[in-house]
Structure formats: structure tokens, C-alpha cells
Amino acid sequence: MDTQSDPAVAPAKGPSYASYLRLDDLLACQSPLSGTHDEMLFIVIHQASELWMKLCLHELTAARDAIATSRLEPAFKMMARVARVQQQLIGSWEILATITPADYSAMRGKLGTSSGFQSHQYRAMEFLMGNKNAAMIDVFADAPPTQATLTDALTQPSIYDEALRALARAGLSVPEGRLTRDFSKPYVASPQVEMCWRTVYAEPERHWDLYELAEKLVDLEYRFQLWRFGHLKTVERVIGFKRGTGGTAGVPYLARVIDQVFFPELLTVRAVL
Ligand code: HEM
Ligand SMILES: N[C@@H](CC(=O)c1ccccc1NC=O)C(=O)O
């Protein structure tokens, strides 16, 4: 027998599976409060979602920076990966929907006023996608480091801001006010920007890279909206029209945020093509 290649007898080199992945730490992080059977699922879904969001932020930040430095191909690679991660996040609603309203009610009291509204990674993702709203940072008033990180994310250009700069570098007429603006403020749609995208879509052979960029952005927005819709419908079937623990009206609030779009001209341009 070739003992050299038998992992059972090969001398240990580098970290083990468990030490590399810090499994002792990771698997000690599930602490149900209610003693109900389903709370383990509730915790695991949220923790897994936060891990996937961590990866999305890692990829989207790098994609934004790649676009900023005219390296569109690596940005496409990262955006394509984010789209697949988003698919994974959307899939989690199917699992969560196996919690019945009564089972959720049995654990809900223990959640107090905690809510997904307090997910700083989710808010950072929204900011990176261009949905800037300074008021969303207020809920982190008791966590100054988180507040500082989010304020930084609010102030920096979004992936869409960088896409518009890429359009300008390619010679398209993006208004100056969309290129050098206060990035902490919400983006306001511009008919001239819509014209730029129209040029890209009307003659993709002249701008294959910008066409690809536009479509990758549309893919991200599409999946982000599917996630929001899946959340809305899951919340509807689990708590109906109860108010949210985070202090919002619940389902009516979630229905309203679906109206917020990230890349407005990429949607409106479709009506003029
Ligand atoms: C039974 C499961 C769930 C219920 C009943 C639920 C309910 C709600 C409600 C009512 C809100 C509105 C804020 C509030 O007043 O609390 C909210 C917000 C939110 N939830 Fe959930 N949620 C569930 C699962 C999840 C999961 C698995 C995630 C994944 C991380 C999540 C992430 C969020 C986020 C990010 C927000 C803020 C959305 C925004 O402000 O646009 N939720 N949720
Ligand atoms: N907002 C939810 C509570 C909730 O879902 C939640 C609570 C603690 C940690 C994560 C949560 N998930 C998403 O909002 C509710 O109103 O029942």
C-alpha cells in the first residue's frame, strides 16, 4: 500500500479542515433563546445569509473598484459570481417558508425589537448598489464602529456611479452633475444618462463592454428585487399583517421598499428601444 498518499497515516501539514474553517467557533454560534424546534432553522438561515452577504460585499466592492480603473472583464467575472450568490439567497426563502405562523409566534417574543432592519451588511450592499439613504444608519447609533463603516460606504461611489464614469470615459455624454456629485445623496435619474444607455443598447457592436456592463447590472438588480419579493411573500405567509419587531408596519413597509430601484435609467431605457 502506498502509505505516503493515505491521509490516515500521512504526516500532518498545515491546518486541519476544522482549524482552517474555525469550525469550533462557527458551530458554537447558534444559541436559540426560545427552546422551540424551529429556532435553529431561523438562526442558521440568517447566519448563512449574512455569510453570503459578506461574500457579495467582497465581490461587489472589488467589481466597483475594477470598473473605476477600467478593468471591466474582471468586474464581469465578479458580478456573475454575485448573481449566483443572490440565487442562493433567494433559494433560502423556500426553506424558511417551512416555518408555520404558529411555530414562528412561539419564538417571536424572544426576538424583542431585533430585526433584519439592523443588518449592517444588507445596508452596505444597498449603498454599494446605489440605494443611498443616510437615515438608515441611525439604527446603528449604539455601535459606533458599524456606524463609521456604513458612513464610509454611504459616502463612496456606488457600482452604478462608477458605471456612469465608465460611460463618460468611453466618450458618452454623461452630465457632469452625475459624475462628480455628493455620493452620500440618493441618485436622481437623468434623461441624458438614459440617452447614453440607449446609445449602448442601440449599437452594442460599438460598445460590447458597456453593453455587457449594463446587462450585468440589470442581472444584479433583477435578483436583488427577487430577494426582496421573496422576503415580502415569506413575511406575509408567516406573520401576515402584524407590525415588524423593528418598528415598521411590516408587510406594507416591505412592499414600499420594492419600489426603490438601483439603476433607474437601465429600466426606463427599455421603453425607448
Ligand atoms: C420568518 C422570517 C422573517 C420575518 C417574519 C421577517 C420580517 C421582517 C419585517 C417585518 C421587516 C421590516 C422591519 C421590521 O419592522 O422589523 C424585515 C426587514 C428585514 N429583514 Fe426580515 N424577516 C424574516 C426573515 C429574514 C431573513 C432570513 C433575512 C435575511 C438576512 C431578513 C432580512 C431582513 C432585512 C435585511 C430587512 C430590512 C429590509 C429593508 O429595510 O429594506 N429577514 N423583516
Ligand atoms: N422583523 C421580524 C423579526 C425578524 O425577522 C428577525 C429578528 C431577529 C433577527 C433577524 C430577523 N429577521 C429578519 O427581519 C418580525 O417582525 O417578526
The string of pLDDT tens digits covering residues 72-108 is 999 999 999 999 999 999 999 999 999 999 999 999 9
pLDDT score, position 155: 98
Substitution site in 231, 232, 242, 261 for ligand 1 pocket (most atoms within 8 Å of beta carbon)? 231
Q: Which residues contact 210 (CB under 8 A, 6 or more apart)?
A: 166, 167, 170, 172, 200
Ligand 2 atom 13, closest CA: 116
Atom of ligand 2 nearest to the CA of 238: 17
**Cβ neighbours around 188 below 10 Å, total:** 10
User: From atom 17 of ligand 1, which residue's Cα is the shortest distance away?
Assistant: 116
Nearest-atom index, ligand 2, CA of 245: 16
- What is the average pLDDT across 175-191? 97
Q: Which residue among 85, 105, 117, 226 has the greatest number of ligand 1 atoms within 8 angstroms of its CB, and so is best to mutate?
A: 117
How far is it, in rounded angstroms, from Cα 19 to Cα 16?
A: 5
Largest CA-CA distance found in the chain, in angstroms, rounded? 72
Does the ipTM surpass 0.95?
A: yes
Q: At what angle do helices 208-239 and 101-108 cross, to 10 degrees?
A: 80
Q: Which of 236, 264, 238 is nearest to 252 (CA)?
A: 236
CA 184 / ligand 1 centre spacing (Å):
24
How far, in Å, is the centroid of ligand 1 from the Cα of 40? 17
**Closest C-alpha residue for ligand 2 atom 7:** 115
The mean pLDDT value for 161-166 works out to 98
Class of the domain covering 36-272: mainly alpha
166 in Cβ contact with 213 (< 8 Å): yes
- Runs of H (alpha helix) within 97-207: 101-108, 120-129, 144-155, 159-169, 176-179, 191-202
Report whether pLDDT(34) > 80: yes
Task: Identify the nearest ligand to the CA of 234 by its number.
Answer: 1
Q: Can you give the pLDDT at residue 101?
A: 97
**Given ligand 2 and candidates 120, 231, 245, which is best to mutate, with the most ligand atoms within 8 Å of its CB?**
245
Amino acid in the structure at residue 256:
R
Calculate the average pLDDT of the chain: 96
Integer angstrom CA distances of residue 189 from 37, 39, 142, 156: 48, 43, 34, 18
The reported pTM is: 0.96
Whole-angstrom distance, CA of residue 117 vs CA of residue 111: 13
| pLDDT in the model for residue 181 | 95
Contacts of 103 (CB under 8 A, 6+ apart): 36, 37, 38
**Which band of pLDDT confidence, cut at 50, 70 and 90, is reported for residue 8?**
confident
CA distances from 135 to 29, 35, 51, 156 (A): 30, 35, 25, 16
Protein residue with its CA nearest to atom 32 in ligand 1: 116
How far away, in angstroms, is 136 Cα from ligand 2 center?
Answer: 16
C-alpha to C-alpha distance for 240 and 232, rounded to whole angstroms: 10
Ligand 2 contact, 179 CB (< 6 A): no
At residue 12 the predicted structure's pLDDT band, cuts being 50, 70 and 90, is confident
239 lines ligand 2 (CB under 6 A): yes
